[in-house]
């Protein structure tokens, strides 16, 4: 075999090796897309690595100017101050259209006896957050500003809105991605907030 033939074969192998990582990546993307968008899959059920693990122990400053029903400043976001029952953590922003869509459900939940909602305001302007809650109502018992987005990363947030349920032991019990729906509130959220096991 001549040197030229050997060089040509070696060059062809090298050229093929260059494409292998790209092909593997492409196959992984296709597999991920198939899993995410398969028929009958609920898009709200994006898995979270944090389920069953302690909620991030991040304290966020209060939304400046936000007050509670008593007229007193609403406290910031602090998991150490969660009450001794499950808490709904809601990630929201004034610029988020689906957040407006789910907000009436949050207001109704906040009026349910024994339900506590903690708000995590994601990459928002203070004035816009205040205007949002002034216009639509404030369902939060505590709410903090996550201007940098660091807290959302720690919580494993994909996008707003998202909601988490934190148990009495401080672990994340459940995650719901996207705007809450009446069905999700009734079948998934309320049972867990009441310490019950969801049916089905």
Q: What pLDDT sits at residue 37?
A: 40
Contact 109, 139 (CB under 8 A): yes
d(CA 195, CA 85): 8
Q: Please list, in sequence order, all residues whose beta carbon lies within 8 angstroms of the beta carbon of residue 119, skipping any fewer than 6 positions away.
A: 77, 89, 90, 92, 139, 140, 142, 143, 144
From residue 64, alpha-carbon distances to 91, 142, 196 in Å are: 17, 12, 36
User: For residues 62 and 126, what is the distance between their CA atoms, to the nearest angstrom?
Assistant: 10
Q: What is the pLDDT of residue 28?
A: 44
What is the C-alpha separation between 58 and 48, in angstroms, rounded? 18
Which CATH code for domain 79-193? 3.40.30.10
Query: Looking at residue 198, what is its pLDDT?
Result: 85
Interatomic CA distance for residues 195 and 23, integer angstroms: 47
Confidence (pLDDT) at 183: 96
3-state secondary structure of 62: strand
Low-confidence ranges of the chain (pLDDT < 50): 24, 27-46
The DSSP letter of residue 81 is G
């Amino acid at each position: 075999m001549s040197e030229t033939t050997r060089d040509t074969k070696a060059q062809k192998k090298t050229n093929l090796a260059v494409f292998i990582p790209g092909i593997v990546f492409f196959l992984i993307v296709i597999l991920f897309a198939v899993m995410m968008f398969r028929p009958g899959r609920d898009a709200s059920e994006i898995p979270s690595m944090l389920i069953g693990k302690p909620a991030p122990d991040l304290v966020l400053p209060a939304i400046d100017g936000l007050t509670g029903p008593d007229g007193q400043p609403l406290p910031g976001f602090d998991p150490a101050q969660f009450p001794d029952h499950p808490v709904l953590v809601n990630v929201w922003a004034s610029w988020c259209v689906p957040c407006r869509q789910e907000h009436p459900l949050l207001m109704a939940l906040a009026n349910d006896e024994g339900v506590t909602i903690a708000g995590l305001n994601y990459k928002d302007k203070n004035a816009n957050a205040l205007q949002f809650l002034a216009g639509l109502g404030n369902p939060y018992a505590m709410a903090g500003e996550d201007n940098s987005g660091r807290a959302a990363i720690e919580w494993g947030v994909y996008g707003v809105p998202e909601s988490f349920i934190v148990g009495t032991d401080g672990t994340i019990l459940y995650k719901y991605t996207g705007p809450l729906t009446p069905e999700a509130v009734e079948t998934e959220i309320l049972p867990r907030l009441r310490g019950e096991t969801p049916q089905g």
